Chains A and B, each alone.
Chain A
Amino acid sequence: MSQNKGKAKIEVIEKYCKGCNICVAFCPTNVLEMDGFVVKVARLEECIKCMQCELRCPDFAIKVHDA
């Protein structure tokens, strides 16, 4: 799954995501949300591309690309 609008493009590799919630909890602008056991990009327009979610994801499951 990838979404592409705004400044960033956030790619969630669903088959790797284990729903640990780390990326959701530490995103400074509340971009991400849990959707069952997988993370979803809820407010992409708020993303400031700080990379915190990608850096702290233990599962190689979220990538922040330039839009």
Chain B
Amino acid sequence: MAYDYEKNIRPGKLPHIWCPGCGHGIAMKGLIRAMDTCGLDKNNTAMVSGIGCASRLPGYMDYCTLHTAHGRAAAFATGIKMAKPEMNVICVGGDGDGVAIGGNHFIHACRRNIDMTYVVFNNYIYGMTGGQFSPTTPTGDKASTTPYGNPDPTFDISKLAIGAGATFVARTTAFHATQIDKLIVQGIKHKGMAVIEVLDDCPTTYGRRNRFRSVVDMMKRLKDIAVPVAAAGKMSPEQLEGKVLTGVLHQEDRPEYCEQYTEVIKRAQAQSE
């Protein structure tokens, strides 16, 4: 019955570095189950990350892994996929890494519809560096850099991905553990840019500064705010106030970038003959 996660983890790497109750561990387990379900070959799967607590994830994984510069996971992953289109490419990273410093790379990977799976661990904060506010820190909340409350409006990462052109976009939370792997499996199988946003918690730098006295309070919040897309249709705007939609939010077929580029190569070769 118990799940054998260890066969995906580099020997001797556990316990991981994350704080007690950090949602990244729950999301990591969902990602492992999804990769197992898809039967990904360790030698033909690249896991790519930038910098941050979430971005440490590939270092634990017994796959081909690349820990790159802050915000640059999508850029390096694009390079891998272009050079080796047959490889499965999975990016993992935080909200800060993905949509603050890395926002540009993120949106352009979405626009190109390159065939990769990008899992964003959105804990609403820059966890690793001590809790500076990120583009997803709720307006009004406290961060180390917004001690009087965050004046900024927020990014909705899933909407950003849809707007930028990602062809599979889904969202869930660390509380909804079994949905994490279900959605990532769909993302991996999807041909094109798949973004899966996992809302999680950083008790150490976000929770304790705000209204969450414990890790369990943070998990309960994730449980309370999530509304499955199917249920949302039957709810009033008032009922949806403060909620986030979960499940598959967007899916479409559009030409994939590596395939388009192969056509460019063919045209160039035909002309030079």
Contacts and interface: CB of A to CB of B under 8 A. Distances in A.
Chains A and B bind each other: yes
B20 A57 contact: no
B26 A63 contact: no
Interface in B1-50: 1-3, 5-6, 9, 14-16, 18-26, 29
Interface stretch (B106-114, B125-133, B136-144, B211-219): B211-219
A51 B20 CA distance: 20
Contacts of A55: 26, 29, 177-178
A59 B5 CA distance: 11
A51 B177 CA distance: 11
Q: How large is the interface on B (under 10, 10 to 19, 20 to 34, 35 or more residues)?
A: 20 to 34
Interface of B is mostly: loop
A18 interface: yes
A60 B29 contact: yes
A13 to B, nearest CB: 8
Interface string B143-170: 0000000000000000000000000000
Contacts of A51: 1
A43 interface: no
B225 to A, nearest CB: 17
Nearest to B26: A58
A60 to B, nearest CB: 6
Contacts of A60: 5-6, 9, 14-16, 25, 29
B2 A65 contact: yes
Contact of A54 (B2, B24, B219): B2
Nearest to A52: B177
Interface residues of A, number: 25
A18 B21 contact: yes
A48 interface: no
Contacts of B21: 18, 20-22, 58
Given A56-B175, A57-B25, A21 B1 contact: no
A67 to B, nearest CB: 10
A29 to B, nearest CB: 16
Contacts of B174: 56, 58
Interface of A: 8, 11, 15-16, 18-22, 25-26, 49, 51, 54-61, 63-66
5 contacts: A56-B26, A56-B177, A57-B25, A58-B20, A61-B15
The 9 closest A-B pairs by CB, nearest first: A58-B25, A20-B21, A63-B2, A18-B20, A55-B177, A20-B20, A25-B216, A16-B15, A58-B26
